[in-house]
Amino acid sequence: MSEQLDWSSLCGSADSGSRPIEPEKQADWSSLVDWTSLCGSADSGSRRIEPEKHLGWTSLIDWSSLHGFSLPSQSLLLKWRRHPPQAAGWPPFFEAEARGLALLAQTNTVRVPRVYAHGPATGARPAFIVMEWVDSAPARRDVGGLPARAADAAGAKGSAATPGALLGRQLAALHCATADAYGLDHNNFCGDTPQDNRWASSWVEFYGQRRLGFQMELAGRRGLMPRERRWRLERLIAGLARWIDEAACRPSLLHGDLWGGNWLVDAAGRPVLIDPAVYYGDREAELAMCRLFGGFPPEFYRAYDEAWPPAPGRDERIPLYQLYHLLNHLNLFGEGYGSQVDAVLQRYVG
């Protein structure tokens, strides 16, 4: 397997030395991994792996001439899908995840796991992403999601030092990263659903067409859009400017799918964001998603609002922005979410 590495570019002809090497740039990870033993026959899954045990590093490295080969010494997370969602005009599923994590990382506002490799499904190999494993203890909700072992350390400092409060401040800082328009330079996925990120200069247009309208079309094709529901949703989209003040909106970088299952707390008590569906959108859409399924302590919201106070009327728009994710759940999981969708529609259009 050693021919897969470009050894001359790695070592040159120097007698001795050390140099940092990015494994993902220098090695074809996908061929290093024994996929059958890692993934078995499961269609999809995730597992923690120890690189030394599962990747054939030792046999790949010419130890006599190579020094300082920098490999991840920590555990890794491997996620795989044999049949990931795909769509024409969309990047491969895990490429979209990696690009989203990279965009979040670039802001230096909140920790995200480092991605080492990803690739589409080919032959027997499933589509995969390999990233840094984040050691996280089970959350203790009574102390704001603080992992048990970090709780005592932070206890004396009060709730301002909890991971929830940190996340609130860091998310507000993330939202300060802005663009000139709403959308993104590539499409991605929200859960398993394609997310249309074509740029728009108006947030009302973007949220109406690319978010609500896109989900409406999808639900229609799947037989989940009875006549009354469609009628109300069309009216809501047409009248969005009644509830949204375009002038008060900003294209902020959003995680995009921030529910309680998509943030972790590391061993040092720091929040970590995973599994994003990033785009530049109004920050109220993000906070509404946080509230939809719970999983964020009160100090998270307090810290966010302190760092960046809400625009007037924010609370009245929460269900409006939750509607996108409810429609997405309708499309992903079926009519079980129909009544929640209808309740939001009735609230705004009667």
Q: For binding to ligand ADP (CB under 6 A), which residues are involved? A: 46, 77, 113, 131-134, 261-262, 274-275
By CB under 5 A, residue 97 contacts Mg ion: no
Burial class (CB in 10 A: 0-12, 13-18, 19+), 25: exposed
Which residues ranging from 256 to 295 are in contact with Mg ion (CB under 5 A)? 262, 275
Residue at shortest CB range from ligand ADP: 275
**Residue 115 · residue 57 · CB < 8 Å:** no
User: CB-wise, 145 or 319, nearer to ligand ADP?
Assistant: 145
Burial class (CB in 10 A: 0-12, 13-18, 19+), 59: exposed
User: CB-wise, 324 or 348, nearer to Mg ion?
Assistant: 324
Burial class (CB in 10 A: 0-12, 13-18, 19+), 16: exposed
Instruction: Please tell me which residue in 152, 196, 245, 257 is annotated as part of the active site.
Output: 257
User: CB-wise, 66 or 137, nearer to ligand ADP?
Assistant: 137
User: CB-wise, 159 or 193, nearer to Mg ion?
Assistant: 193
**Residue 175 · residue 308 · CB < 8 Å:** yes
- Known catalytic residue: 245? no
Least CB distance from residue 265 to ligand ADP, whole Å? Answer: 11
Least CB distance from residue 261 to ligand ADP, whole Å? Answer: 5
Least CB distance from residue 181 to ligand ADP, whole Å? Answer: 28
Would you call 144 helix, strand, or coil by DSSP? Answer: coil
113 binds, among Mg ion, ligand ADP, none (CB under 5 to 8 A by kind): ligand ADP
Closest among 172, 146, 167, 170 to 157, alpha carbons compared: 146
Active site residues: 257
